[in-house]
Amino acid sequence: MAKSKSGKPQPLMLDDRDHRFAAEENPFEAMMYRFDDAATRLNLEPGLYKVLREPEKQIIVSVPVLRDNGEIEVYTGFRVLHNRSRGPAKGGIRFDLAVSLDEVKALAAWMTWKCAVVNLPFGGGKGGVICDPSSMSDREIERMTRRYTSAIIETLGPESDVPAPDVNTNERVMAWIMDTYSMHKRHTVTGVVTGKPVAMGGSLGRKDATGRGCLVVTLCALAKKKMSAEGATVAVQGFGNVGSTAARLMAEAGMKIIAVSDKSGGAYNPKGLDVAGCLKWTGGGKLLNNYKKGERVTNEELLTLKCDVLVPAALENVITSKNADQIQAKIICEGANGPTTARADAILDQKGVYVIPDILANAGGVTVSYFEWVQDRGGYFWDERTVNERLEKIMKESFNEVAAMAGEHKVSMRIGAYMVAISRVAAMHRMRGVYA
């Protein structure tokens, strides 16, 4: 942590860590830069700084899979538990060729801060397998899922590590994980994963939870900026579950969705798009760059459109030092994990763009995952209205707590969110002490 001549901690300047950003897209270093800045502002004790900076456990496993053609392929899998001082690790499992240990470490740490910022009794975890699921049959994916589950089974459990769906995984994969774990335990354990089918102990409201959380915090931000939600213009990059749900709910709240995109590009109409029509179009397997009721727009162009609210809900590192100065949105609600780099943060701050950071903006998903875990453990399930009301309450309270921290320390909402999260995890460590 940087110190002044007087020995007092000073907030980090970006130039202090230029070597970290030679490759601006490194997710772990980007996350740790924000952590370092927040920890410095909190005057975090050196010992606690060391504890919170390092993952608690990193697991690398080989995952041999019998392919349908009779050949054996061996994949590499990871599971990282970042911090479990506040409760069991919580975090998704992704199947993707881009999975790496650095990425999984970053996402596990993000989950620690995300759970803490919305004050859930969870720590952070993340996992993944390096593979191309698009080249695999359903049976091959099932075999891989079950073998990966058995390889990390010692860390799994409702009180130790609770996975969820992530990139290229879904409720079906969670069902296989739950079944594999339950077979090893010789009894059904529904609480070992979240994001399961409702018939297996999943929660109502889970599918819309992340997008609904984005809506709630966006409404809070509009109110804080004294902007009306009615007619506020919104551009959404990414039309998967999070982006499409956010667009639909924001339209229902009276906002005007002027642009949406998927991997192909997107559609733009300054007078507003028919979101229901976009959903029907993509539901039929069609790509948004061919949507007939709007002008074509690339994903890069969408980010720089003039709008009140920009929702990057697709990939990491889409707002960088190369395009941040072209952003025209007044508010950014980060539906994706890590869509903005640390260098871009500095530019957006200078421009006065109000950024609702990922660890707050997209925490609706993990919040309803928490609800699912609670319902599984209690054996009593809530109706969807109850789920949505409790989600809204937590998201509003968390937004206000982060805004208060940011205002008190005159920092961005992102650093304010990290400060709230780190202070909560650090407080738990102080109370628990160090086992020796």
In three-state secondary structure terms, 416 is helix
What b/e readout covers 335-353, taking b as 16+ CB neighbours within 10 angstroms? bbbbbbbbbbbebbbeeeb
CB 124 within 8 A of CB 111: yes
Q: Supply the pLDDT for residue 224.
A: 97
DSSP state of 319: B
Strands 265-268 and 123-130: unpaired
pTM given for the model = 0.91
Residue carrying the six token digits 């109706």: 383
Lay out the sheet containing 265-268: strands in order across. 295-297, 265-268, 256-262, 233-237, 309-312, 331-333, 354-356
Cross-strand pairs, 88: none
Q: Supply the pLDDT for residue 413.
A: 97
Task: Go through the domains of the chain in sequence order and give each one's CATH number.
Answer: 55-191 (3.40.50.10860), 209-361 (3.40.50.720)
Confidence bin at 85 (pLDDT 50/70/90):
very high
- What's the pLDDT tens digit per position in 277-287? 999 999 888 99
Amino acid present at 324: A
- What's the pLDDT tens digit per position in 161-203? 999 999 899 999 999 999 999 999 999 999 999 999 999 999 9
Active-site choice (90, 105, 126, 330): 126
What CA–CA distance (Å, rounded) separates 189 from 203?
Answer: 15
What CA–CA distance (Å, rounded) separates 248 from 257?
Answer: 9
Q: Is 126 a catalytic residue?
A: yes
Backbone angles phi, psi at 90, to 5 degrees: -135, 125
